[in-house]
Amino acid sequence: MKRYATILFVLCLMSVCRASAQQTSKPYVNRQALMVHMTGLLRLVETIPIPTEGYIDHLSYDLKNQHLFISGENNKTLVVVDMKAGKVIHETPLGGNPRRPFFDAATNELWLDLGDNTAVAVSGTTFEVTKTVELTGGKNAAHRDPDNAAYDPVKGLYYVGIVTGQGNKDGTIEIVDTKAAKLAGSIKMDGNDPAGIMLDRAANRLYVGHGRRGERRERRQGD
């Protein structure tokens, strides 16, 4: 019996030593960009605390009133910062995760797309949602996730890229007429991830980055 106990003790000791060796030999993976020498490009002049938790998506601004709009993607809020005062002055709760906002000074409206498959207008004065446009498939449509976007301030058209699930081909560019606050069209993209959207007004073109057959995984928060 004593002999068996000794053998068991030795086996346990070996196991602990092996586990310890595995832990210490695991290589450290640096996923941070290496620092490089940099001077004379941009100068940090201010830091401003903001109340978001989790991922933040894109920003826009109202130059006249010095307001900065931040998509609090994870919090489902629009955060408004007074750039002159350097502080947050408002948070607007939203129905879905906000993504790509554009402020239009001519209409005093901020348009942004939400993860619940809608696009909304927010007043540049009250910061409240004033208009809601459901995108193709309707609000909360399955496998339809608005993400990147572009805005034409002259025509008042808001182009929203809809990401769909892996293996699908039904991604679209939605066209929202912001003057009429209605869906004006939908362009089929034969893929599931229209991303990197850029309007070229002079050429009457919209450029949309896309993986040809491949297809990305489901969009996740923070993309």
Partner 1 sequence: MWGMGDVVNGESVVKVIDTTKRAVIAEWPITGGPQPHTAGLDSAHHRLFMGSRLGGGHVVDPGKLVIINTDTGKVVQALDAVGGADEIFYDAPTSRIYFSGSSGTLAVFHEDDPDHFRMLGKVPTGSIAKSGVWIPELKRYYSAVPKHLVQLMPTTQYGVGDWLTEESHLMVFEEVP
Q: Which of the residues 84 through 143 are near partner 1 (CB under 8 A)?
A: 86
Residues in the chain: 223
Comparing CB distances to partner 1, the nearer of 65 and 139 is: 65
Among 48, 89, 105, 180, binds partner 1 (CB under 8 A): 48
Nearest CA to 92 out of 115, 125, 133, 141 is that of 125
Using CB under 8 A as the binding rule, whether residue 22 contacts partner 1 is answered as: no
Provide the CB-side half-sphere exposure for 177 (13 A, CA).
6
CB 186 within 8 A of CB 119: no
Q: How far is CA 104 from CA 54, 64, 78, 209, 215, in A?
A: 27, 11, 16, 25, 33
Comparing CB distances to partner 1, the nearer of 13 and 89 is: 89
Among 152, 153, 168, 183, binds partner 1 (CB under 8 A): 152
Q: Which amino acid is at 137?
A: G
**Tokens matching residue 124:** 């540049």
- Count the site residues for partner 1 by CB under 8 A: 78
Least distance from partner 1 to the Cβ atom of residue 8, Å: 30
Least distance from partner 1 to the Cβ atom of residue 215, Å: 7
Among 53, 106, 142, 154, binds partner 1 (CB under 8 A): 53
Among 1, 4, 25, 36, binds partner 1 (CB under 8 A): 36
Least distance from partner 1 to the Cβ atom of residue 137, Å: 18
Comparing CB distances to partner 1, the nearer of 142 and 202 is: 202
What is the spatial distance between Cα 132 and Cα 176, in angstroms, rounded to a whole number? 10
Nearest CA to 179 out of 152, 203, 160 is that of 152
Least distance from partner 1 to the Cβ atom of residue 88, Å: 9
Tokens 């068991």 map to which residue? 8
- DSSP H or E run through 146: strand 145-152
Among 80, 81, 114, 121, binds partner 1 (CB under 8 A): 81
CB 171 within 8 A of CB 214: no
Comparing CB distances to partner 1, the nearer of 5 and 35 is: 35
Using CB under 8 A as the binding rule, whether residue 144 contacts partner 1 is answered as: no
Using CB under 8 A as the binding rule, whether residue 194 contacts partner 1 is answered as: yes
Using CB under 8 A as the binding rule, whether residue 164 contacts partner 1 is answered as: no
